[in-house]
Amino acid sequence: MDISDTPEEAAFRAEARAWLDEHATPRGQSTEEPDLGDHVQRARDWQRTLHEHGWAGLSWPEEFGGRGLPGAFATVFAEEMAGFEETTGSLTVSLGMVAPTLMAHGTPEQQEHIAKMLRGEELWCQLFSEPGAGSDLATLGTRAERDGDVWVVNGQKVWTSLAQFADYGILLARTDPDLPKHTGISYFIVDMNDPGIEIRPLVQMTGQAHFNETFLTDVRIPAENMVGGVGEGWSVARTTLTSERSSIAGGNSGWSVETLIEEARARGRCDDPVVRQQLAAAHCRAEVLKVMGYRIRTATSQGRFPGPEALAMKLGYARHWVASTETAMELLGADATMYDQSEPWQYAFLNQFAIRLGGGTDEVQQNIIGELGLGLPREPSADRGVPWKDLPR
């Protein structure tokens, strides 16, 4: 057990830091632009810069344009990045979910997208959830029917992050309604410029339209754009969803316990013992996430899959987010209720639902943890083996 950097990690950290000092903006020195389109464009630009200077895809295999470094190096770079304003958050679906899925399950042609994501050229979205299929994603009803060399897709997706900016989407659709719900699903790559796709932005409490409804009408997808085989969509999707959970917990939140303490200090609240206690609690929560990160990083470096404890990360992150932004509201006093999309704490507070719901609700996470962490038997499932078309709805 050794928590410090290896000499190689330390050298890499110094190199990363020096490059960031030269190319990135220290936190707190820029004011966040409320316009979502600008935010997305800046993420693409930053990703291109990272790529140009050899900082993109650090732990990705070289065959996909990565640098093939151990996972620890990617973590070191992320730790150093946390002190700067720039973020590739808008590319999370592309880099954190689609790329790993295509690496594992894609055809060589499909994998050609990966290099473009790495350069910030392609932005992807995820067309999984439907109005009737949220936590119970496998009941999804969007239909894909074979017509010669193409699949014709009809249906409605929802909570599609950044669909209005996306070049491509990953899509789950039902290719056989006669099979039980998990087995009749296939996984597609869809061109978001297809004329059959209509996007309706959904405005959230933050005032931004991060999410969208996506309507698919006779969208024609070439057969070679299926990822995995017919009916293998659910198992391909598991790769995507596992990646999603770790992406959310590893994300750049735009706030930290340090900024919370700074806020308290700036408002003269640091002498209040009750406030100090809340700041300390926030620190303790962040500490757990940091060390859990060490554990996951260690497992990955040693070529192991992280244990079930890693599942707690996303949940812990969501709870930390909720509790810490509540503390911020406490500190803001009468200012807590002022909001016009530019105040970072109010934005973070109002954005908590995106954190709690993305990648599966807290409750779904707890169920999985109970099963995998403690070996508890599953809840009885009412619909096992029932053909999808016969499910009650």
Binding site residues, its own copies, CB under 8 A: 272-274, 277, 380, 382
Which residues lie across from 213 on neighbouring strands?
158, 200
Task: Answer whether 329's CB lies under 8 Å from 345's CB.
Answer: yes
**CB of 182 vs its own copies, minimal distance in Å:** 21
Indicate the residue among 302 and 381 with the shorter CB distance to its own copies: 381
CB of 272 to its own copies, least distance (A): 8
Cβ proximity to another protein, 44 vs 356, nearer residue: 356
CA distance 102 to 92: 14
Of 338 and 382, which has the nearer Cβ to its own copies? 382
CA 64 to centroid of chain Cα atoms: 21
Q: Which residues are catalytic?
A: 244
Min dist CB 380 to its own copies, Å, is: 8
Q: Which does 377 bind (CB under 5 to 8 A by kind): its own copies, another protein, none?
A: another protein
Residue closest to 126 by CA, chosen among 158, 171, 185, 95: 171
269 binds, among another protein, its own copies, none (CB under 5 to 8 A by kind): another protein
Q: Give the span between the Cα atoms of 227 and 127, in whole angstroms.
A: 14
Binding partner of residue 223 among another protein, its own copies, none, CB cut-off 5 to 8 Å per kind: none
Distance CA 81, CA 92 (A): 15
Q: How many CB atoms lie within 10 A of CB 358?
A: 20
Q: Which does 193 bind (CB under 5 to 8 A by kind): another protein, its own copies, none?
A: none
Of 105, 224, 274, 93, the C-alpha closest to 168 is 93
Nearer to its own copies, 30 or 135 (CB): 135
Nearest approach in angstroms of CB 320 to its own copies is 21
Q: Which residue has tokens 């978001």? A: 192
Phi-psi label, residue 333: left if phi above 0, alpha if psi -120 to 50, beta otherwise? left
Q: Which residue reads 């950097």 in tokens?
A: 5
